[in-house]
Each structure stands twice: as structure tokens, then as C-alpha cells.
């Protein structure tokens, strides 16, 4: 399973980067890195293109020994096992930040983790998901994104779209703001309720669903006209993205507590963002419409 997952995440990285190259008109910077404690990865980052201000697609394949702090940051009760601190982890993670404020930011990651040799009950699991973070609300975009993810879930008995959708809304919650980071998608962790092979097939399905879930939205929005004021709103929304990633995100915490590569861990942050003191939106505006949805998540697939 380790090798199957490694092969899959590298394949997905190649597939997605090839698509982004054709859209953005620039090549990516590639860094192949190693980790002193064991393993390494391959980071690819786009910047300076016509579509993306910053976009990254990273693969990591790491192993070593967990500290108690790192074990705790994983959540899921795994820190309570108290032993088998040797670990193996691999995954693909991507974040795309477009220039145009009408085009949504998107994040996805899919990963596999083992404690010890991965043979004991509960010593291995899959996790991941994808979520959409627009600056402006286009309901058809949200419906399309969620429908593609639901279709992927519906093909596998191990998956449950309604549960994963709610999990995503709850996980990407900026608690101190009382709002979600975006319009959600799916999120799951500690997935080991079926065989390794069945879980792997589901995660692979999700990974291959990323491009059809997102590219149609990008194509519709990347060349739309926008104002300076709309660009400033995008900068404020990016500030909220930063707040979540640095304060709450478990993946960021795990990377920082396992001596991960800092540039790869913080690749998810936008190139530019903004924090304006006591910013208020105009009631009834397009900015207010998005703000209300972030406070009260919707079920996008109910007419």
C-alpha cells in the first residue's frame, strides 16, 4: 500500500501540473527535497503567470519517529495509543490562488499514514478532501464543485458524502471569526473502516476528481472584469485564509512539529493578503452575500 499510494500521488501531481501549465502559460519551479529524519518530497510552485498569483502542488513521502507533540497534533485519538511512534506518511497537497477575485481559491489534499508497520488494527488510515474558497459567490460554481465530489463518494461504499460535507464545514471553521473559510467540499480523516484497497480506491477516485471539479469554474471566472474594490475584498478574504491555516490547520501543525520543509508547509499561503482594521461590508452587497453564507453553510445539492 505504501508504494501504491506513492505512485498515485506522484501521478496526480504530474496530471494536475500539466493542466495548470496549459492554462497559466508558465512553467513551475520544482524543488526536490530530503528530510534529515527520513524521506522527502517534490514541491512544484507556479507564480508570475497570467492566471495564478501563486499555485502549488506538493508531494511528500516521509518517515521517522513521532514526538508526543506531533502525535497529539494528528488528532483522531491516535495520540492516546502511546506507542508505535515510528511512522510513515505520504500525500499530495495543493492550493491554487488565482489573480482574478471572481475565480475561487481551491485546496485539496489526499494522504496515507501508518504507525509502526501498519499491520495492527487502527495503525493505518487515509485522509483528505477538497474545498472551495471564493471571494464572490456564484451558486452554480458551488453546486458543480459539490456534485463532482458527491459523485466520487457515491461510487464507493466506504464513503459518505453528507458526513464528509458536514465534516468539511466544521473543520474549516475560523472559530474566532464565527465563519467558515469557504464554501466547503468534503473532508475525512482516520479512514480505515474498510480494507486498505477499498479505502485506497476511494482516495484515488477523489484525487482524479479534482480537475473536473475545479477547472470548469476557473475557465468561467479567470477573465471576468473586476474593480480595484473587488481586488481589495479578495485580499481581505485571503487574510482569513491565512488565519485559519496558521491558527487551526492540523496539517500545518503536524508539519511544523515534525521538522517538515517550511517552504512546502507554508506554500498554501497566498502571495499577498490584507488585514484592514474593523472592516465592514455594505448590507445587501455581493460581499455581504458571501459573508452570510460563510456564517451559515448551505447544502448546495438541495434545490
Q: What is the DSSP letter of 195?
A: -
* Cell digits of residue 249: 490547520
127 and 191 in contact (C-beta within 8 Å)? yes
In degrees, rounded to 5, the angle at the alpha carbon of residue 69 between the alpha carbons of residues 66 and 71 is 50
Round to whole Å and give the CA distance between 85 and 115. Answer: 6
Beta bridge partners of 197: none
* Cell digits of residue 281: 461590508
Among the listed residues 91, 93, 293, the one whose alpha carbon sits nearest the alpha carbon of residue 210? 93
| φ, ψ dihedrals at 124, nearest 5° | -140, 150
* Catalytic annotation, residues: 107
The 10 Å Cβ neighbour count of residue 6 is: 16
Round to whole Å and give the CA distance between 126 and 9. Answer: 13
Q: Which residue reads 474498510 in cell numbers?
A: 194
Longest dimension (CA), the chain: 56
Category of 220 on φ-ψ map: left (φ > 0), alpha (ψ -120 to 50) or beta: alpha
Residues in Cβ contact with 92 at an 8 Å cutoff, skipping those fewer than 6 apart: 9, 10, 12, 13, 57, 58, 59, 109, 110, 111, 207
Amino acid at each position: 500500500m505504501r508504494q501504491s499510494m506513492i505512485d498515485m500521488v506522484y501521478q496526480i501531481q504530474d496530471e494536475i501540473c500539466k493542466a495548470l501549465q496549459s492554462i497559466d502559460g508558465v512553467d513551475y519551479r520544482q524543488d526536490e527535497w530530503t528530510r534529515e529524519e527520513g524521506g522527502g518530497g517534490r514541491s512544484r510552485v507556479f507564480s508570475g503567470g497570467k492566471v495564478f498569483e501563486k499555485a502549488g502542488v506538493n508531494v511528500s513521502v516521509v518517515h521517522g519517529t513521532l514526538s508526543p507533540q506531533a502525535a497529539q497534533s494528528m488528532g483522531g485519538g491516535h495520540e492516546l495509543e502511546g506507542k508505535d511512534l515510528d511512522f510513515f506518511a505520504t500525500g499530495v497537497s495543493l492550493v491554487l490562488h488565482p489573480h482574478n477575485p471572481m475565480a475561487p481559491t481551491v485546496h485539496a489534499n489526499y494522504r496515507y499514514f501508518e504507525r509502526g508497520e501498519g499491520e495492527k488494527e487502527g495503525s493505518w488510515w487515509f485522509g483528505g478532501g477538497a474545498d472551495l474558497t471564493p471571494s464572490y459567490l456564484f451558486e452554480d460554481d458551488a453546486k458543480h464543485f459539490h456534485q463532482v465530489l458527491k459523485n466520487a463518494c457515491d461510487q464507493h461504499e466506504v464513503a459518505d458524502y453528507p458526513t464528509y460535507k458536514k465534516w468539511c464545514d466544521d473543520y474549516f471553521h475560523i472559530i474566532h471569526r464565527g465563519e467558515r473559510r469557504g464554501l466547503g467540499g468534503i473532508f475525512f480523516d482516520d479512514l480505515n473502516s474498510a480494507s486498505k484497497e477499498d479505502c485506497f480506491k476511494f482516495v484515488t477516485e477523489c484525487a482524479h476528481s479534482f480537475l473536473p471539479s475545479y477547472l470548469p469554474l476557473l475557465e468561467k471566472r479567470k477573465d471576468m472584469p473586476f474593480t480595484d474594490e473587488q481586488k481589495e475584498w479578495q485580499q481581505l478574504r485571503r487574510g482569513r485564509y491565512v488565519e485559519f491555516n496558521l491558527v487551526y490547520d492540523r496539517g500545518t501543525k503536524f508539519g511544523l512539529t515534525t521538522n517538515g520543509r517550511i517552504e512546502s508547509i507554508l506554500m498554501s499561503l497566498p502571495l499577498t493578503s490584507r488585514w484592514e482594521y474593523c472592516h465592514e461590508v455594505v448590507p445587501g452587497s455581493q460581499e455581504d452575500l458571501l459573508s452570510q453564507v460563510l456564517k451559515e453553510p448551505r447544502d448546495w445539492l438541495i434545490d
